[in-house]
């Protein structure tokens, strides 16, 4: 799933480490999320969205599953 975490993080001038500490995950998780290798759970997605004061829909790009 695509997301705009990197964009939001850079806008606020945060490092991956700082964002990781703020949302209580490891830096590796932030890296994987930004690279699109890992999809956040609803709980984490909510935490990140709340941290950036935005909505989950703005932060995460949901695409319809292609079969």
Partner 1 sequence: MTFETRVKIRLWVAIIFLVLGLLLMAVGFWGSVEYASGLGLGFCVIGVARIRQYGRIMRNRDRMKQQEIRETDERNVMLWNQARSLTFSFYILLTAAAIIVFSLLGMEPWIRLLSYQLIAVIIIYWICYWVIVRKH
State the residues that interact with partner 1 by CB under 8 A: 20-21, 24-26, 28-29, 32, 38, 40-41, 43-44
CB closer to partner 1, 41 vs 53: 41
Phi (first) and psi of residue 6, to 5 degrees: -60, -45
CB closer to partner 1, 4 vs 31: 31
Please report how close the Cβ of residue 38 comes to partner 1 at its closest, in angstroms: 5
Kind plus residue range of the DSSP H or E element containing 20: helix 16-22
Kind plus residue range of the DSSP H or E element containing 2: strand 2-3
């Amino acid at each position: 799933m695509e997301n705009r975490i990197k964009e939001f993080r850079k806008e606020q001038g945060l490092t991956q480490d700082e964002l990781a500490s703020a949302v209580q995950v490891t830096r590796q998780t932030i890296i994987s999320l930004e690279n699109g290798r890992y999809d956040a759970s609803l709980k984490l997605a909510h935490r990140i969205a709340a941290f950036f004061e935005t909505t989950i829909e703005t932060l995460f790009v949901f695409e319809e599953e292609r079969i």
